[in-house]
Amino acid sequence: MPLKYLHTMVRVKDLEKSMAFYELLGLKEIRRHDSEGGRFSLIFMAPPGQEEAPIELTWNWDGDDELPSDSRHFGHLAYEVDNIYEMCQHLMDNGVTINRPPRDGRMAFVRSPDNISIELLQAGEALAAAEPWASMENTGHW
């Protein structure tokens, strides 16, 4: 039987903060469903031109105190980027902590405002090692 990937859902506490984070990565809102009766919103975000592979942000209007503080029950989301150093600098310039810097020019990890681990992978071959990344220590965990 054929199988088709639809989306990955993550629950968020602060919708505006979470959407701003994913927008920093380059994702755009592609559709939304607000449920008055269920008191929740589903916001689907995807990279431009890749609407078939969205992330679904689920936001409960009345809060969600059951979210764990460290979301390690969920592995990570992974996105390929054209230049990992430029993306990490862009994220840092906007207040995002680089938990695992791209010391190898290939891979980095950051966390969303809801502690979702995000893996960033360099498209193609790894970039040559460069500062400040090559000597930057890990911060927290990913």
Output the CA–CA distances (angstroms, integers) from residue 50 to 35, 56, 110, 112, in the order listed. 26, 14, 21, 20
Cβ atoms of residues 55 and 75 within 8 Å: no
Give the residue numbers annotated as catalytic, written as ranges: 119
Strands 98-100 and 107-111: antiparallel
Does residue 132 have a cis peptide bond before it, meaning omega lies within 30 degrees of 0? yes
